[in-house]
């Protein structure tokens, strides 16, 4: 599932998958800003058929954190 997650993230952020990892940090990775976050959340919710509570997004610091939210 991690590989699929990274592929969805890469597509959403319009970057190559080898440019990101689970340690990629929000706001420290230029393509992943607040606007990109909103689109990314929608893409992840659609792809994995989940609902990510917006109040939990504030605690996201890395892609691993976001992956954990997707997994529930």
CATH assignment of the domain containing 8: 1.10.1200.10
Give the structural domain span for 7.
2-71
State pLDDT tens for residues 15-67: 999 999 999 999 899 999 999 999 999 999 999 999 999 999 999 999 999 99
**Predicted model pTM:** 0.93
Count of the separate structural domains present in the chain: 1
Residue 27's pLDDT is 85
Burial class (CB in 10 A: 0-12, 13-18, 19+), 15: middle
pLDDT band, residue 72 (cuts 50/70/90): confident
């Amino acid at each position: 599932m991690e590989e699929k997650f990274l592929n969805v993230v890469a597509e959403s952020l319009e970057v190559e998958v080898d440019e990101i990892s689970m340690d990629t940090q929000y706001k420290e990775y230029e393509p992943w800003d607040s606007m990109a976050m909103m689109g990314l959340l929608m893409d992840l919710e659609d792809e994995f058929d989940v609902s990510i509570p917006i109040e939990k997004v504030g605690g996201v610091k890395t892609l691993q954190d976001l992956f954990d939210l997707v997994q529930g």
